């Protein structure tokens, strides 16, 4: 089976939309716009990511370390993403070694956590 879509309830759809399209390569799908109450984005693998806040509720809280992750091909690519975010004023701690990966986490606008990591130099580096 192929994972088709993921739905995230977010506190700020336009801000989450901007963050994911600007820094993580997502593109609007199905004519979705940044200012809509529901936004559908797609990545270069065809995954659909829906951002919504149907009742226009305030803050959204996810449990514990719930996050979405973006695997990079190398440590240098992880550092490049970190640098782009830092230059834009997005707060994140620098990448570090963690459970066999080189990774950092950043709180995305809208209330969810994003991990950027590389498995470079590990057995997982060749995993799909």
Query: At 20, phi and psi to the nearest 5?
Result: -75, -35
pLDDT (tens digit, 0 to 9) for every residue of the chain, 128 residues total?
888 999 999 999 999 999 999 999 999 998 877 777 889 999 999 999 999 987 767 778 888 889 999 999 999 999 999 999 999 999 999 999 988 899 999 999 988 999 999 987 665 655 55
pLDDT at 37: 80
Q: From CA 118, how far away is CA 98, in angstroms rounded? A: 10
Residue 125: per-residue pLDDT: 56
CATH of 5-52, one of 3.40.50.360, 3.30.720.120, 3.30.70.270, 3.50.50.60: 3.30.720.120
Query: Residue 42 has what pLDDT?
Result: 95
Q: Does domain 67-126 have CATH number 3.90.79.10?
A: no
The domain spans of the chain are 5-52, 67-126
β-pair type (48-52, 27-28): unpaired
Whole-model pTM over 0.75:
yes
DSSP state of 5: E
């Amino acid at each position: 089976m192929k994972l088709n879509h993921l739905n995230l309830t977010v506190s700020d759809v336009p801000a989450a939309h901007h963050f994911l399209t600007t820094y993580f390569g997502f593109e609007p799908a199905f004519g979705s716009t940044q200012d809509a109450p529901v936004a559908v984005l797609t990545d270069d693998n065809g995954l659909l990511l829906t951002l919504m806040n149907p009742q226009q509720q305030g803050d959204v809280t996810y449990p514990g370390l719930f996050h979405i992750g973006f695997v990079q091909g190398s440590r240098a690519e992880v550092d490049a993403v970190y640098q782009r975010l830092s230059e834009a004023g997005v707060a994140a701690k620098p990448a570090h070694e963690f459970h066999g990966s080189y990774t950092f986490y950043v709180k995305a606008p809208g209330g969810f956590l994003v991990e950027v990591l590389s498995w470079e130099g590990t057995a997982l580096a060749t995993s799909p």
